[in-house]
Structure formats: structure tokens, C-alpha cells
Chains A and B, each alone.
Chain A
Amino acid sequence: MVEPILRAPSQYWMLIMMWVRSSMAYPASFVLMLFSSMVLTVMDFVAIVLMFSHISSFGGFSLAEMALLYATASITLGIADLFTGSIERVGERIRTGTFDAYLIRPVPAFLQTAADGFALRRIGRPLQALVVMVFAFSRLDVDWTVARGIMLVVSIAAGTVIFGAIFVLGAAFQFVSVDSAELANSFTYGGQTLTQYPLAVFGKEIVRAVTFVVPLAFVNYYPVLYLLGKPAPLGLPSWIGLLSPLVAVVMVALASLAWRGGLRRYRSTGS
């Protein structure tokens, strides 16, 4: 049980490096694609900046505070998309029957599906978000301590894991319904769009749903509220922002169960 898990990182690394080498065969093309990925994904922040040409506060958040929300949402989704986003193509592999090939190779099918077509250019999204984060912190007056720094880094890692788990859950559902790849987009890309705004503006029901059902609020909202010293909605305690690693662990457990369940269900194609 332990040995396959210890071997997984190096196996995954080997698989993605293969794709990185192939994309580096045309360096100029890679740089252009990386650049256009940054331009395309920064549009959501451009929209926020355009809004702030008319308003000075959005749901009680200033532009710099919105920038921090945007940056944390975009970094976490961007890294999760980079490392696990390809898994959404599993439905196509199930339909065509090429998924069989993954099952007979000496590497877990999960790693092969997650690494399939690894596109390093997707790092454009977290990169532009990092620039926005630097902008946010240059304008914000955060009382920095070592503990807060660690908390920020840990929350971003936990948020990334939560989004990654949602990608895997969406992929696992495709074992049941092959053509439903786009369904997961509601929670991944939709989740990113949602979490780059202060969730309280969407109303109490939505806040409840993204706290207790699909825990998107733990990706960045509660940690950012804690960091900025703002009160949590629904009368929740402010230390709820420290719980995101715990939520990430629960999500990973759920995603792993779902993926295993899906894999057991797999019967290959009939043709």
C-alpha cells in the first residue's frame, strides 16, 4: 500500500516531463502560447478593474482586497488545472476504449490520466495571478507575522488541493456518464469565477452551499477574510479560515473513493 504511493511522485514527474519536452520542441510557439494563456486568463481581473472605474467598493471590498480574492482564486485553480486538469478528458478515453491501455501499464491509471497531455502553458494562469497578488499586497495594509505568512501559503496549497479534488470528482463521474465532461466546469471554472468575488454578495443560501456542500468557500474566501481581519458570514467564527487544510484532506478522501469506485465500474467498450 505504502510503496505505490511513494513511487507515485517520480512516476508522475516522468510522465509530465515527457510532455514538457515535447512542448519545448518549438520554444517560440511555447512562449507565445504561454503569453496568450496569461492574457486570456487575466480578463476576469480586467473586468474587476473596469467595474472599479465606476465603484469604489464591491460588497464591502476595496480594489486591492478584490485583487487578493481574485489572485488566490486564480492561483489555486490554475495550479490544480495544471496538474490535474487533463483528467477531464477521461470520458473521451472511456468512449474510444483507449483507457484500457492505462490499465495494463505499470503506473496507476490515475497518474496516467492526470498527466495525459500535460500542458505547461497552463502555468500562465497562476503566473498572472501571482502578479495581481503582488499588486494586492503592495496596496494592502496587512499586519505581517511569520504565522500569517505560513497560513497564506498553507491555504493556497489547501485551496489547490480542493480544486484538484473537484477535478478528480468530475472525472470519476464520467465513469457513470461518459459525455458529462462539461458538468465539472460548473464547479471548477465556475468555482473560480465565484470565489474571486466576496461570497457574501451571493446571498446566505449560496454561502451555506459553498461552505457545507461544495466547500469552495475554503479555497480562498475564509482564509482571506481571516488574513484581512474581516468577520466571517453566517455568524461563523473567524478561525474557520484556518480549517481549509482539514477540508482539503476530506475532499481528497472523497475524490479518491469516487475515483476507485469509477475505476471498478469500468467495463471497457463493447466494440
Chain B
Amino acid sequence: MGVYWAIAVRSLRRFSTYRIATASGAFTNTVFGFILCGIYLTLWHERPGLGGYDTADALTFAWLQQGLLMPVGIWGATTTGELGERVRSGEIAVDLYRPTHLLLWWLSVDLGRAMFQLVVRGGAPLLVGALVFDLKFPSTPQAWLAVAAGVFLAILVSFGIRYLVALSGFWITDTRGMEQLALVLSTFFSGMILPLVVFPGAIGAIARATPWAATMQVPIDIWLGRNPGGTGSALLFQLGWIVVLLLGAQLVTSVATRKVVIQGG
């Protein structure tokens, strides 16, 4: 257990070294937060109460969406991107003969990254947004706890998807198509282009059942206290996808490990 903690801490330190890059990224998230607020203000002005959100919900959604984008890794993350690259290049062999579990190793690396980005890329835009707009915050300690759990589970769901995409390189030589497909699905179904509550009819119902909903829409709804079935069922929904994805990831890992042939040199 200690070794995985050590990996996560080092991963966090590694990401904290790119200060200017992190600052310019947070600036960009903030600019997009303002743009989204302008759009949502108009949309909710035309249709008050759209999707069960009031204006404050919609504005909070904009800042949480920008804040979660990088930590959760909606568009992929450096860590799982590197894992995919190692599978392609064969360097994965080094990871496989370490006395650690492949999945847990990369999960620790990803969690270290996510924790750093959550504080800086998530916190900074949210702070600016809260200074300018009247945003909603969880009011009780239990609500904050639920939010923390929801965000943590969102990162796990997202990691599960990204890990499976990276490991697809064991079977297909050019994973760019797979990565693009993952990017399209994640952008559309996570609530990145528009809150899923605005999706009409069947598209909305389908979108809300996908694992991508669990990466962004669901944790934001936990923050807002707007989950249709309550916070408990939202967390269970995330847990359900984590079980499916991580079991799949474990299966793929063991099959891939048996399949891989390392050339001697």
C-alpha cells in the first residue's frame, strides 16, 4: 500500500513543477467559465427553470464543468496518454516486471495528477467565478462529504475508461481512432457541450445512463443537490460503473499480460 501512496505523491509533485503552464491553463478555464456563463444566462433567461435548474444552478454548473475538465480528464489525461504510448512503444514491459500491480500503479499515478489539478485547475476558476457571480455551494458537512466522494468516484470512472482505451493498444496497432472515439463520446455524454439536463427526451435518458455522465454531470448534480433520485443513488450509479469498468480493466490487464511477448535484446 505504501508504495502506491509514494507513487501518487511523486506524481502530484511532478505535475506541480509546470507552474506557468498550469497558470495559463487555469486562466483559459476561467475565460471559458465566463463565456459559458454568458451563454447559460441567456438560455435560462429565455427558458427559466430549464431542466430543473435555476439560474444559479446553471452558472455554478459552468464553473464546476471548467473546474472538473482537467482533474477528471474528460478529454484524456497526460498519465493515461503516456500509458498508451508505453503500450505502443513496448516500454510497458518495464512496467510489467515491476513487483507492483499494473492497474494500481497507473491508478496511483493518475490520482496524484488528479489531486494536484483538482486544487489548482479546479479551485482557481471556481474562486474567480464565486467572486463575480452568486454561485451555489454545499451547505452542510455531509453535503461536502458527498461532493468529495462524487468527485473521487468520477475520477475513478474516467480512469477506468482511459485505462481501457490505453490498453486497447495491445490488440490494435494504431490507437488514434480509439482515442478519437473516446474523445467524442466523452465530450458528448459527460455534459461538456451542454448540461445533460437540457438534452431532450430519449437522448437525455440515454446520456444520463452512460459512464460518461458519471464523470461530470453526476458529481455536479451532487454539488447542486439536483440529482433526480437523490445523492445516495447518484453515488451508487457511479459505484456501479466503477465496478464494471475496473473489473473489465483487471480482465484486460491479465489477458494482455499473458499475450505480450517481449523481444530479448
Q: Which residues of A contact B (CB under 8 A)?
A: 29, 32-33, 36, 39-40, 43-44, 46-47, 50-51, 53-55, 57-59, 177-183, 185-186, 190, 193-194, 197, 201-203, 206
Contact = CB atoms under 8 A, between A and B. Distances in A.
**6 pairs of A and B residues whose beta carbons are closest in the complex:** A183-B24, A36-B180, A202-B38, A179-B20, A186-B31, A179-B21
Contact of A50 (B24, B31, B35, B194): B194
Interface stretch (B85-93, B141-149, B181-189, B215-223): B181-189
B237 interface: no
A178 B20 CA distance: 8
B32 A190 contact: yes
Contact of A180 (B20, B35, B42): B20
A182 B25 contact: yes
B59 to A, nearest CB: 14
A95 to B, nearest CB: 11
B31 A190 contact: yes
Contact of A182 (B21, B35, B50, B188): B21
B193 A47 contact: yes
Contacts of A177: 20, 24
Contact of B28 (A46, A182, A203): A182
Contact of B193 (A43, A59, A186, A203): A43
Nearest to A59: B42
A190 B200 contact: no
Contacts of B21: 179-182
Contacts of B15: none
Contacts, number: 95
A194 B41 CA distance: 14
B35 A190 contact: yes
A58 B184 contact: no
A190 B28 contact: yes
Contacts of A32: 177, 180
A33 B38 contact: no
Given A55-B43, A179-B24, A190-B28, A46 B193 contact: yes
Nearest to B18: A179
B199 interface: yes
B176 A58 contact: no
A180 B24 contact: yes
A43 B28 contact: no
A186 B28 contact: yes
Contact of A40 (B38, B47, B50, B184): B184
Contact of B41 (A29, A36, A179, A201): A201
B43 A47 contact: no
Interface in B56-84: none
A202 B42 CA distance: 8
B162 to A, nearest CB: 17
Contacts of B181: 36
Interface in B192-209: 193-194, 198-200, 203
A68 to B, nearest CB: 17
Contacts of A55: 43, 46-47
A58 B43 contact: yes
B46 A57 contact: yes
B188 A46 contact: yes
